[in-house]
Chains A and B, each alone.
Chain A
Amino acid sequence: MNTLKRRLAPYFLVLPGGLWLVLFFAVPMIAMLSLSLQQGDIVNGYSLTWHFQTYLDAINDYHVQLIRSLIYGLISTIIMIVLAFPIAYWIAFRGGKNKNTYLFLLLLPFFVSFVLRTISWGLILTDNGPVLEPLKKIGLLPESYHLLGTATAVIGGLVYNYLPFMVLPIYVAVERIDPRVVEAARDLYANPALAFRKVILPLSMPGVFAGALMTFVPTSTDYVNSSVLGSSSTTMIGQVIQAQYLTNSDYPTASALSFVLMAVMLVGIFIYARVLGTEDVMEVAAR
């Protein structure tokens, strides 16, 4: 009896997590995979015909938006690394006893809805809004200049909305660097720049790595920023999927696109992890 219990113990332990995974991940995934291979329409219903052509058609029709999304994601991630590093570094090393206050301030915008904040940016950056109007009045910008509807506005929105997800992991990595290691570098006649490059930077890399993952995935799949701040020339893949689901009721195309997007992401992340290593990331994530 006792041995049986012991044998079954691991399965019982894995049960809650396993069930959660099955219910909220595996089941929807299988349903979506099935949908992507079905044919039909919303009135007469869809049925499984193993129609793989949907994938080819979807890629053929929407590769422009897919590639554009990946490029926007990549650009925003790079901008976020450049912006987040000094912030994280400053809070970790110069924050003193107010560190928590600074971190709280960083997260404060999250208390307001994501969509509302993005719409506010739309109002601020509009053609005759408080930013552009004065600049146009004094002749710094031509009358036809505009920000809304351009890639700049969309990438700006992405960076603004996801920056904290980059700052926090970098902060965690930088914060745990033992100051004595930096002192040791200085003792060995490294100037501050060299100490930064040879000691701090490599030790904070796991944070950058994790931050890049945490921001690249949501920025490339985002559909709010582009629909609020962009135009038809900045359409991202998330908007296409949403339109297929909700406007066209074309469930197979929407599901196929979701899978293509997921596959592209997974392959990209896999290569990224292989090249830069995952062990440290796991360590950071575990903290």
Chain B
Amino acid sequence: MSASNFPDPSLVRGLTQSRFGRRDLLRAGGLGALGMTLAACGVKGKGKPSASVAPDAIAKFWGSKTKNGHVDFANWPLYMDPKHPELKKFTAETGITVNYQEVIQEMGPWFAKVQPQLSAGQSIGYDLMVITNSTQFGQFVDSGFLAPLDHSKMPNFAKNAGAKYKVEAYDKGNVYSVPWASGITGIAYDPKHIDVPPTKIADLWNTKYKGKVGMFSDPQELGNFGLMSLGINPDTSTESDWEKAAKHLKDQKDAGIVRKYYDQGYIEALAGGQVWMTQAWSGDIFQKNLSDGTDFKFVIPSDGGTLWTDNMTIPITAKNPVDAIELIDFFYRPEIAGTLAEYINYVSPVPAAKQQIDTDAAAAKGADKTTLQAVATSDVVFPTDEIYKRLHYYVTFDSVGESQTFNKLFEPIVLG
């Protein structure tokens, strides 16, 4: 081994020994630097804009926007015929291309995903997104993440939207949103195992079906059923009501009645026999029976179900808002709303869509005809006034703190 092959002593020292003499000083300095770094890591929020929308907000947002011939559309899975007939029609008529993506699965994670981009004022890659009137809806609005809608660009909406869908508490007067579809949260059951059909929410507390009852893991869905089972209207409930409801739901869990708290997986659980009776969303059960030939039943309890709404909104950083609002308005044509409802089986915000489905049913033959007739007469696609009376809206929160209090009350039940 020649001498030059032997590592330089300084290299050995460099690799093995610490070089710093004034360690204490550096350490103190290091801590200080760490402290500053930590402080720099704050998460930016957007703060609450003034309670009402500034009168010039619409002009300010829309003034400089032009039509670009393209829309990026973010929606939930199974919320449109996979062949997208409505979008094809739209493109054929207007020349605007639509990139339709089923990227929204849950509200919490979706908000968490787009929040950093929106608060930095960057585009999220979508010009139109469908969001539920859940806790996060308020957070989107409070953060100033939604563009105020220019109603002069939505003549179909003005003409065809059902009156009930123009006054919903979470966005009165449709400042930021217009409904895509609504759904009802009720009870689904498997008649193979349940001989006495459930009629009221309290039936979910029946010890006879111990370990065979499914509840939702979403704090709103779970909490609302707890509230309604005690005869409390979620929309006007207070914190002390929430505590009572949480206690009632905890009792249900401690008695071993609840098998599991589900998200979308409740349908498979019902099909797999894990649960015989479960909280459920109206359209899902209809679709499941239709596609898999199952015979599950859906009931809206006599003492209440909830009506929630998924809404079309335009993110404030959208690149093609003019095209997006044109697409929004397109969905308020009765014939478009009709074919959409035929496929998704959720409540259409356009009452006139029923005639479209009736017309289609009259023209169809065989099994298609039966299906379409079932859709047109379905209580969960076109609820009657009697049913609307039974339905409640979600709890609306005045502040993030309030929604966190609510979540903290119901979350321990789900997480156990």
Cβ contacts under 8 Å, A35 to chain B: 41, 43
Cβ contacts under 8 Å, A9 to chain B: 8, 11
A42 B272 Cβ-Cβ under 8 A: no
Please report the number of residue pairs spanning A and B whose Cβ atoms sit closer than 8 angstroms: 142
B34 at the interface (CB under 8 A from A): yes
B45 A43 Cβ-Cβ under 8 A: yes
A149 B47 Cβ-Cβ under 8 A: no
- Which residues of A248-268 have CB atoms within 8 Å of chain B's CB atoms? 248-251
Choose the segment among A162-170, A185-193, A235-243 that binds chain B (4+ C-beta atoms closer than 8 Å).
A235-243
From A37, A38, A126, A243, give the contact of B411 (CB < 8 A). Answer: A243
B38 A11 Cβ-Cβ under 8 A: no
Give the interface size bracket for B toward A: 35 or more
A48 at the interface (CB under 8 A from B): yes
From B43, B108, B112, B211, give the contact of A45 (CB < 8 A). Answer: B43
Cβ contacts under 8 Å, A245 to chain B: 112
B155 at the interface (CB under 8 A from A): no
From B139, B142, B260, B272, give the contact of A123 (CB < 8 A). Answer: B272
Distance between Cα atoms of A6 and B9 in the complex (Å): 10
- Which residues of B222-264 have CB atoms within 8 Å of chain A's CB atoms? 253, 258-261
A34 at the interface (CB under 8 A from B): yes
B47 A34 Cβ-Cβ under 8 A: no
CB distance from B342 to the nearest CB of A (A): 30
The contact string, 1 if C-beta is below 8 Å from chain B, for chain A 12-33, is: 0000000000000000001101
From B8, B219, B253, B415, give the contact of A6 (CB < 8 A). Answer: B8
B37 A34 Cβ-Cβ under 8 A: yes
B274 A149 Cβ-Cβ under 8 A: yes
A44 B48 Cβ-Cβ under 8 A: yes
Distance between Cα atoms of A31 and B38 in the complex (Å): 7
The residue in chain A whose Cβ has the minimal distance to the Cβ of B45 is A45
The contact string, 1 if C-beta is below 8 Å from chain B, for chain A 120-155, is: 001100111100000000000000101011000000
B39 A247 Cβ-Cβ under 8 A: no
B407 at the interface (CB under 8 A from A): yes
Known A-B contacts A126-B273, A127-B274; A37 and B38 likewise in contact (beta carbons under 8 Å):
yes
- Which residues of B280-330 have CB atoms within 8 Å of chain A's CB atoms? none
Cβ contacts under 8 Å, B11 to chain A: 6-7, 9-10
A101 at the interface (CB under 8 A from B): no
- Which residues of B331-369 have CB atoms within 8 Å of chain A's CB atoms? none
- Which residues of A94-128 have CB atoms within 8 Å of chain B's CB atoms? 122-123, 126-128
B interface residues (Cβ-Cβ under 8 A, vs A): 8, 10-11, 14-15, 34, 37-48, 106, 108-109, 111-112, 115, 139, 142-143, 211, 219, 253, 258-261, 268-269, 272-274, 400-401, 404, 407, 411-416
Sampled A-B contacts (13; CB under 8 Å): A9-B11, A30-B38, A33-B38, A34-B40, A44-B45, A45-B44, A65-B415, A127-B273, A149-B259, A232-B413, A247-B106, A247-B219, A249-B112
A sample of 10 more A-B contacts (CB under 8 A), given A3-B10, A251-B43, is A7-B8, A10-B14, A42-B139, A43-B143, A146-B274, A148-B260, A231-B259, A232-B414, A247-B109, A249-B139
